[in-house]
């Protein structure tokens, strides 16, 4: 049988942590309607291809008029609110798991994005934002010259100062 050392303060610290969590949760919603206190943050997927950056936010149940999308100083902000329906408020709910209230998301955009060409579509509860990249940020095909007919002339020396020899290469 193994002998373990008894630490009387381990259980006290555990109890204190549980009590702190309990009071923190109670004070967070003090004086507020529980439905309003349970705000949410919509999930977002961000991806890009050669021509654009795309954001998809899950915002089901939010009307178009309750969404506000802005671009300022290379920051994209999306604000909105999912409202609790008043006619359902009078029902005797057993459980409310859907989140209601306001949300705010902000995304810093890369300098390659053209902030003047933003498109927003809202379909089946998904807000899709497409931000086109600037033309200079899009990939370019570079033509390779083959053979002795190169269009690039030999480098021209512009000074009379002799350049030092590096590792035997001149």
Instruction: Say if residues 68 and 80 touch (Cβ distance below 8 Å).
Output: yes
Q: What is the pLDDT of residue 89?
A: 56
Strand partners, 106: 77
Query: Which of 88-92, 114-118, 161-165 is predicted with the least confidence, judged by mean pLDDT?
Result: 161-165
User: What is the number of residues in the chain?
Assistant: 170
Greater confidence, 9 or 54? 54
CA atoms within 13 A on the CB side of 123: 5
Is CATH 3.40.50.1360 what the domain over 38-137 is classified as, yes or no? no
Per-residue tokens: 83: 């409202």
Greater confidence, 139 or 106? 106
Residue keyed to tokens 């290379």:
74
What average pLDDT score do residues 107-111 get? Answer: 90
Is it the case that residue 21 has pLDDT exceeding 90?
A: no
Per-residue tokens: 4: 């373990």
Per-residue tokens: 91: 């029902």
Distances (CA, A) of 114 to 55, 57, 68, 108: 15, 20, 19, 13
Query: Which of 19-28, 68-77, 105-114, 127-136 is predicted with the least confidence, judged by mean pLDDT?
Result: 19-28
- Band (pLDDT 50/70/90 cuts) for residue 34 is very low
Q: How far is residue 112's CA from residue 135's CA, in Å, rounded to a whole number?
A: 9
Domain boundary assignment for the chain: 38-137
CA atoms within 13 A on the CB side of 93: 12
């Amino acid at each position: 049988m193994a002998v373990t050392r008894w630490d009387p303060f381990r259980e006290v610290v555990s109890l204190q942590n549980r009590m702190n969590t309990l009071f923190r949760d109670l004070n967070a919603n003090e004086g507020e309607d529980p439905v309003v206190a349970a705000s949410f943050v919509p999930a977002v997927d961000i991806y890009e291809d050669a021509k654009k950056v795309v954001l998809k936010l899950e915002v089901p149940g939010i009307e178009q008029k309750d969404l506000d999308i802005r671009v300022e100083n290379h920051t994209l902000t999306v604000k909105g609110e999912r409202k609790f329906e008043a006619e359902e408020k009078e029902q005797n709910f057993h459980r409310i798991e859907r989140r209601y209230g306001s949300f705010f998301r902000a995304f810093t955009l890369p300098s390659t994005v053209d902030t003047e060409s933003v498109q927003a579509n809202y379909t089946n509860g998904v807000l899709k934002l497409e931000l086109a990249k600037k033309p200079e940020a899009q990939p370019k095909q570079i033509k390779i010259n083959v053979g002795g007919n190169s269009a690039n002339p030999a480098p021209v020396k512009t000074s009379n100062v002799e350049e030092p020899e590096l590792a035997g290469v001149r």
